[in-house]
Structure 1
Amino acid sequence: MLCLGYPPRCGGQEAEEQRRQRGELTVGQYALYRIGIHRHLGDLDTALAAARRLQPEALPAAQRRARAATDTARTLLDAGDAAAAFAQPSAPRSVFEPKLPPSLP
C-alpha cells in the first residue's frame, strides 16, 4: 500500500511504531517541528494551530514533550499572550534527572 501525505497518516499504531524503530519522524514529531518552524517563519496562527493539535503523550521522549511546551510558550509570547505562555506545563522532572548507570556491587 502506498501512503502519501504530510505527516504520514496511514497504518495506525503499528505503522507509527515501525517508523519510530526505523528512526523516521513520527506524526507527533512532525507536529512538534511545525510549531517551531512556523514560529520562526513568523506565521504564529499556524504555529498555534499545530500546538493545539499536538498530543504530547504521542511524543516518544520527555525531552520532546519539554520542547513542545517550550516552543508553544515562545509562540504564545510572540503572539503577545504572556499569561497563556506562563501557564504552559513545565518540563517533566525526568528531563532534569541524569541517567546514571546501575551501581556496582
Structure 2
Amino acid sequence: METVIEKIYENYIQKYSETDTASQEKKAIYEKYRTLRQKLPADLVQELDMLMEKQTEILCGELKENFAEGFRAGVKLIKEVYLEEIPDLEEKIRKMV
C-alpha cells in the first residue's frame, strides 16, 4: 500500500513530466542518446541500454527517497514551529491518537 508521501510524490512527478520544459529537455537528451546509439556496434548498444536502464532505476529511486526525506524535514520544521507557538501541543496530539 502506498504511503501518503508516495502518493504526493507520484502526483508531483506526473505534473512535472507534463510541463513543456521537462518534455523538451527529455526529447533533446533522447535524441542525443539515439544518435550515439546508432554509432555503436550491436554489442555496445546492448551494453549501453542496460547501463541506461540501471541508471534510470537508480535516479528514480534516489529522487523518490529525497522527495520523501524533504517532505519529512518540512513536517518536522512545521512541528517545531508549532511546538513553540502552542503550549502543550505534543500532549494534545498524543491524546488525539
Shorter chain as normaliser: what TM range? under 0.3
Between Structure 1 and Structure 2, which shows a larger proportion of helix residues? Answer: 2
Q: Using CA pairs under 8 Å that are at least 6 residues apart, name the structure with larger relative contact order, 1 or 2.
A: 2
Larger C-alpha radius of gyration, 1 or 2?
2
TM superposition score normalised by structure 1: 0.25
